[in-house]
Structure 1
């Protein structure tokens, strides 16, 4: 371990206090690791998912639509929930209470059933007809005990033509009625537009929004949580209105970009010996926000 005099690490969470005594290289590995920050909207979304998960089976099940900009924490919320209800195995039989599947980039009913079968680890036969795939998928979904079906990247349904969109929306209704389990759609605003185009589905899917972040109390709390989780040996003064506005401007308001920026600054703080996220270490990062990255790429194409 690095040698350093006994210092006050009370600005860190208990788990991070121990990590702060590790060598720089090990601390950087911990800084770059995924971390869960339970901010209010994420906790609300998890609570809604738990309520749905415990819902008694009936013909018309309630569903949920988790909507927000790209890179704003939707997938992390779903992954957190999935880990709470993990896949188990008993007597050579898998039990998958929460099945997550990604909407194909070129949406069709056939490709979606293929994605479902792959997610359950089912062997695929060549040239399998749609009715056979449908019956196999339904049989396996029941056999593995799926209690919630999560469809990520649901906005991809709009990539299809009007016929394929209608077929897939009909499929959602069919799966909900047939399986009697809640469906959870995850995607951008376009996912909401796709569901809203069908009156019956719109009434079944309750939207939960994850908007862009603003400099408010929730944001200050989020920044304080990040600062307390990074194993840095000095306090990081980032949970302030001025710093929040600066960070949100650079990251363009999504939690994913904000995390990338803060991680880059924390790494710079550890490497430089500054040991805190501040304007100095933030200026050391090579982080570029989404718009800046696009401009850089467009300049290189010219």
Structure 2
């Protein structure tokens, strides 16, 4: 049963006789907020530092501090859709934010999303947009390349990350070759590590260029199975939501249930547990229980596809 609460200033609630030891230290103060504020906190983005993520971050730190040499090492971060790749990259980028100098900005880590087709012109435009540079319409590829290289050097970019690299396979053979040649040229010319992020198709694209394949060391984020690491992940999620009662998510049975329902990806797991935590606040359950999970409106990827296909003409 939830302890009786008493109102405090600002609409928050103080709960006598509870220390909320089931929550992380940073989450405990949020428990005393009103329901609307707690729900906003539950729905906000959260970082769960599981071992695979920390391993990738450590490797990125190593690459960022790599001494200058003619042939710099690169990384290919691979995983299924919605399995945490982009969140890891964003965490790393936030750890190394831009700094402002008197006459320019320094950007140690530049993240660019791969355009839907492997066109050098569109990629250079994406780089310039990420650098916050005004773009002249109808510029030729050599002009875009020259401007991008100049600004990448001026802002002292030390690592270039290309997300959604699997989009390379969307182009025809000659377009793919042209883009991969451009990628190899950037690495050679700038002498900085390149990081490609994508699904298995990103690896298939890189494999078509033997020189690039030799330079990109792959790291994978496999889908989750019922291991001690997965159960630790469940416990970390449970401790991060400002609920007033413990959520027992780390048992083998509960882990099996959650991973089956979300099909083993951390993005889907986060969506499911966030919806369940909101329902736990709305209903007064104050914990993610089997009953709350049964009532949580959530469909996994396969069921969403089936539902969509049923509505197709």
- Pairwise CA distance, 1:228: 0.6
- Pairwise CA distance, 1:124: 1.2
Measured in 2, the distance between the counterparts of 1:26 and 1:83 equals 25
1:28 aligns with 2:43: no
1:120 aligns with 2:146: no
RMSD: 1.0
**Structure 1 residue aligned with 2:151:** 140
**Structure 1 residue aligned with 2:312:** 301
Measured in 1, the distance between the counterparts of 2:118 and 2:182 equals 12
1:227 pairs with one of 212, 230, 238: 238
1:79 aligns with 2:69: no
2:268 pairs with one of 236, 257, 270: 257
- Pairwise CA distance, 1:172: 1.1
- Pairwise CA distance, 1:6: 2.5
- Pairwise CA distance, 1:4: 4.1
TM-score by length of 2: 0.95
1:100 aligns with 2:105: no
**For structure 2, which runs of at least 5 residues remain unmatched after alignment?**
1-11
State the aligned residue count: 302
**For structure 1, which runs of at least 5 residues remain unmatched after alignment?**
none
Measured in 2, the distance between the counterparts of 1:234 and 1:97 equals 42
SS at match of 2:26: helix
**Structure 1 residue aligned with 2:303:** 292
- Pairwise CA distance, 1:58: 1.0
Structure 1 residue runs of 4+, over 6 Å off? none
SS at match of 1:105: coil
| Residues 68-100 of structure 1, C-alpha deviations (whole Å, 9 max, x = no match) | 001000000000000010011111311111001
| Residues 199-249 of structure 1, C-alpha deviations (whole Å, 9 max, x = no match) | 111110000100100010110110000111110011101001111110011
| Residues 262-300 of structure 1, C-alpha deviations (whole Å, 9 max, x = no match) | 001111111111111111111121111111111111122
1:37 pairs with one of 30, 48, 52: 48
1:69 pairs with one of 80, 105, 110: 80
| Residues 2-45 of structure 1, C-alpha deviations (whole Å, 9 max, x = no match) | 36443241111111111111111111110111110000000000
Measured in 1, the distance between the counterparts of 2:19 and 2:273 equals 22
2:183 pairs with one of 169, 172, 178: 172
SS at match of 1:20: helix
TM-score by length of 1: 0.98
1:183 pairs with one of 182, 190, 194: 194
1:109 aligns with 2:116: no
**Structure 1 residue aligned with 2:164:** 153
